Amino acid sequence: MKNIAVLFFSLFVLCTVSDLAIAQQKAVTSIASVRAQGSFVNITLTSSKPFIFANNRYILHIANKEFYSSRQSFDKNGIGSMIFMVPDADFNALSEGADIYLTYGKVSVDGKDMDAMSKAEFAPFWSLGKFSKTLLTK
């Protein structure tokens, strides 16, 4: 009887731990739209999970520029949405083909492979593609 109890307990622990590992998988994040609004360009990102509301903040990196001004929300299905407000002058100064990344908090990338960092399963770092002014819809 003791062996059966130990077996069931072991199965319970195994199932619980494997569910937690799946629940912590990295969210899929992408650019949903880029729209002009007043003197800003709003870059809307969506995520397969809600964005984290905690002590850090999300930073949008395009080339060597960092953008901090954003607002967040999520829908009833748990899909996250975040809008970064980029001033027109900054948007127009960005280089075609520049890499776009999203980080949760300040991440030191000096001398590091940003693509490799974005592919790490639990790193707070996402690659969002290449910048192009053609993304902008009026």
Q: What pTM value is reported for the model?
A: 0.73
Give yes or no for residue 71 having a pLDDT over 90.
no
Helix (H, G, I), strand (E, B) or coil at 34: strand
Q: What is the mean pLDDT of the chain?
A: 79
Burial of 70 (0-12, 13-18, 19+ CB in 10 A): buried
Q: What is the DSSP string of 49-118?
A: SPPP-SSS-EEEEETTEEE--EEEEE-TT--EEEEEEEEHHHHHHSPTT-EEEEEES----TTS-HHHHH
pLDDT digits (tens, 9 = 90+) for 77-124: 657 789 999 999 999 999 999 999 998 888 766 666 777 777 776 678
Q: How many CA atoms lie within 13 A of 86 on its CB side?
A: 25
| Domains in the chain with CATH codes | 27-137 (2.60.40)
What pLDDT is attached to residue 67?
95
What pLDDT is attached to residue 128?
93
Sheet containing strand 125-130, edge to edge, reads: 65-67, 58-62, 99-104, 125-130
- For 100, phi then psi, to 5°, come to -120, 130
Residue of 52 and 94 predicted with greater confidence: 94
- For 13, phi then psi, to 5°, come to -65, -45
What pLDDT is attached to residue 111?
64
